[in-house]
Amino acid sequence: MTNTTTLPNLLDDGDDNNPVINATYKLNRLKRTTFVVPIRGVTPLIVNRWSEKAREMMLAAQQTKVRAKKDPKDPVANFEASKYHLPDGRDAFPATAFKAAIVHASRLHEGITQVLVKQTVLVIGEGPDQLVPITFGACTMREDTPRNASGVCDLRYRAQYWPWSAELHVRCIAGQFDNDSIIALVDGAGIGGVGEWRPTSPKSATGTFGTFDVV
């Protein structure tokens, strides 16, 4: 015995039982708006850019079975390599780090989700690496002793900016957030901070650096 199923005619102009699939939808382009939000560091900003030398060593390790011999540490060279610079030489910090802080802080507010903020809110930087220029009083070399992946203490030499400030250009869909809401998001991001040893660092329970307020 053969079972026969009758399918609805999907091309009918029909009703609930005969949905139309050849409809034409008219969509309007979503307008964007950009908010300029000045921030000021509450605690020093520690940066740790991947140096070209570190990238080359990683690539070499992946292309050969012979482990490359490590050169002696050069504190000054490591300090200089840890900085981010725009093509014109200005010190800066990744716009993506500020966006990540905003997305993370969205959990502190009711009525919005991290997915919504991640997909629609951007922090616009400058140059090919999308960096945010930072203004600072002094840039000093830090010597810290974090633990590496094997649990052994290591000496790290990184740049620290203090005091520091920046101007964030935050872009979103027009009408999605008003000025006060964007300020609230950015200010909340400052609680978790950016950079090394920040409060939201996944590998540290003692971070206090890189926090900021909206001015």
Sequence spans of domains, the chain: 32-214
The pLDDT mean for the chain works out to 87
Residue 163: closest CA among 209, 123, 198, 130: 209
Distance CA 215, CA 208 (A): 19
Band of residue 7 on the pLDDT scale cut at 50, 70, 90: very low
The C-alpha angle with vertex 90 and arms to 143 and 166, in degrees rounded to 5, equals 80
Write down the pLDDT at residue 18.
62
SS3 state at 76: helix
Q: Is the pLDDT of residue 3 over 60?
A: no
Q: Is the peptide bond before 199 cis (omega within 30 degrees of 0)?
A: no
Asked whether 186 and 164 are in contact (CB, 8 A), the reply is no
Residue position matching structure tokens 């921030």:
39
